[in-house]
Amino acid sequence: MAETTGIVCDLCESRNRSKSAYIWCSVCEEGLCIDCSEYHRVSKLSKQHETLSIDSYRKLPECIRTLSKTCLVHDEPLELYCGTHQEPCCTECIATKHSLCPGTTLLSKTVKGIRDSEYLASTKRRIARMKLHAEEMKQNRRANIERLEKQGVLVCTEVARIKDETNKHLTEIEAKLVNEINELVMSETESCKNAESKMEDRLSKLQDLEKGISETESYGNKEQIYLGLKHLTDCLATEETTLKSNMEESCFQEKAIELILAEEMKLLTTISSMGTIKLNVKPTVISSIEPNSSAQMFSPNEASYSSMTISNIKRGTAGSDCIEGTRNTCSLVQLPDGRIVLAAANEAETFGYFYVFDADGHCIERKFSFQCPFGLALMNQKLIASFNIGMVAENLDLEDFTRISEIADGNIYGLSCYDNILAMAIKGEGITLAKEDENPFKTINVRYRSLAYIHLWKNKLFYSDFTLFVLSRYGWRRNLESEI
């Protein structure tokens, strides 16, 4: 009879009987036959225990079925829950390992309402997103294989044809092509050296201006400083105009050598160059696996932030040359492809840079910005940046961080996005909320107006102030504001 379900009644087995289990008690961690289940159901000690049928129990994943309700250290039932470490524990654990942890409560109270919780719903949504993403990646790779196979056959056929027609001319064509490449490299190298020399002149003059300001500040009187600044500012404006003018010159344009197969290659007697096989690589267009916001751990008993610690921080290898000249790190955001973009300003906050890092913290590149970037946010695969000097917020290209379009103007500092809503901190005015490609639907007049950084999460806004050491929280749906 015990072979019917494959799970025996533990109570009967302890009495040397063999009966098939009819239900499973997750509290007792035992299978029960029909007779024993009736006693279990009316017993004062177990009548409140939740049970499920053996068929339902067998359908649970192995990792769930093997979850123990008994402490492996103290052999006591896991009836309590530590919100700080987010793990179940027994009474002995509370007295030792978790003695200083705030917010401990009954495990039964912690899991109450889990079936209807956002934690469960967000986990299911996350799995669905990942499944969809994986399926799209699979189909995309299959389609890419088919294209590669067809392209491979076509290219091989073309290569064979070209080889038969041009084999006796290859040596001559190669020598001519190499000579052209060398001449082009020499010419463009000289052009780049001229550009480098111009920048050395600009740097020399800017260093002279910097020295002039420093010496005037150190040794001049107030009138000399004021009048000297006017002269130095005029000189600086001239240098800035010259610098911008230089950027338009041909020698400052990005140039790259590429070999294009000539039409003359089709005619044997007029072949002048051969070409090369080029593999075009571009990002795969697949919906992002990242949600708009990360799911929060379900627990009605949040631990005190004062007891939390930060660990396992991965330190990158940016290198001092990558961030040289940068003093003010303003904000950062992670792009859909995993790259991390950091907005930073120079010490005088007159211009800035976009630093790009890979997921391991290595600095990939640095992009110069004539404006001074402050806030960064990602909204529906679009990068948004605020520029407090230019007093504008713009959509930027994800590759070269150039301007695509203007979103809003004003003294905009911090940016934050959640669930298709963009929050903008406008210094001296308040915080505006807007949806993509729409006018702001709400302006919040917060208590502190020298706004700096903001963070939007669900129906709450967190913001800091430039002049006060205050972090504030604002429930924008209920218009409730408080200091943290």
- The Cα 238–Cα 197 span in angstroms is 18
Query: Average pLDDT, stretch 158-177?
Result: 74
pLDDT-derived band at 348 (thresholds 50, 70, 90) equals confident
Residue that wins the pLDDT comparison between 320 and 377:
377
pLDDT score of 307: 39
The pLDDT of 256-273, averaged and rounded, is 65
Decide if 141 is inside a domain: no
Residues 333, 419 share a domain: yes
Residue 211 CB-density burial (10 A; 0-12 exposed, 13-18 middle, 19+ buried) = exposed
- Whether the Cβ atoms of residue 451 and residue 471 lie closer than 8 Å to each other: no
Quick one: 467 and 340 in the same domain? yes
Residues 330, 472, single domain; the answer is yes
Distance CA 378, CA 334 (A): 8
Question: Region 32-42: what's the mean pLDDT?
Answer: 91
Residue at which a domain ends, from 10, 45, 67? 67
CATH number of residue 341's parent domain: 2.120.10.30
Within-domain flag for 214: yes
Q: In this structure, is residue 14 part of a structural domain?
A: yes
Least confident of 68-72, 285-289, 404-408, 424-428: 285-289
Q: Which domain holds residue 10?
A: 1-67
CATH number for 29: 3.30.160
Q: Taking the model in full, what pTM does it have?
A: 0.36
Please, which residues have CB within 8 angstroms of residue 391's CB and are 6 or more apart in sequence? 409, 410, 411, 412
In the chain, pLDDT over 70 holds for what percent of residues?
A: 82
19/161 same-domain check: no
Judge if 256 and 328 occupy the same domain.
no
Query: Considering the domain boundaries, does residue 306 fall inside one?
Result: no
Q: Is residue 134 part of a domain?
A: no
- pLDDT at residue number 351: 80
Q: Of 67, 89, 122, at which residue does a domain stop?
A: 67
**87-89, strands of its sheet edge to edge:** 87-89, 80-82, 105-106
Residue 440 lies in a domain: yes
How far, in Å, CA of 19 to CA of 32, rounded? Answer: 9
pLDDT for the residue 23: 92
Mean per-residue pLDDT, 311-315? 40
Number of domains in the chain: 3
- With respect to residue 253, please indicate whether it lies within any of the assigned structural domains: yes
Q: What is the DSSP string of 207-242?
A: HHHHHHHHHHHHH--HHHHHHHHHHHHHHHHHHHHH
Both structure tokens of 109: 């109270």
- Report pLDDT for 323: 57
Give the span between the Cα atoms of 457 and 46, in whole angstroms: 42
At residue 316, does pLDDT exceed 60? no
Shared domain check, 444 and 349: yes
One domain for residues 325 and 420:
yes
Distance CA 98, CA 83 (A): 10
Task: Give the model confidence (pLDDT) of 89-131 as tens digits.
Answer: 999 998 888 888 887 888 888 888 888 888 788 888 888 888 8
Q: Reduced to 3 states, what is the DSSP secondary structure of residue 3?
A: coil
* Last residue of one domain, picked from the residues 67, 85, 112: 67
Unique residue bearing structure tokens 């009138």? 223
**Two tokens at 465?**
């102030």
Task: Say whether pLDDT at 302 is over 50.
Answer: no
Residue 80 is predicted with a pLDDT of: 92
Question: Does 432 lie in the same domain as 353?
Answer: yes
Pick from 67, 19, 27: nearest CA to 47? 27
pLDDT of 36 above 90 = yes
How confident is the model over 234-257, as a mean pLDDT? 81
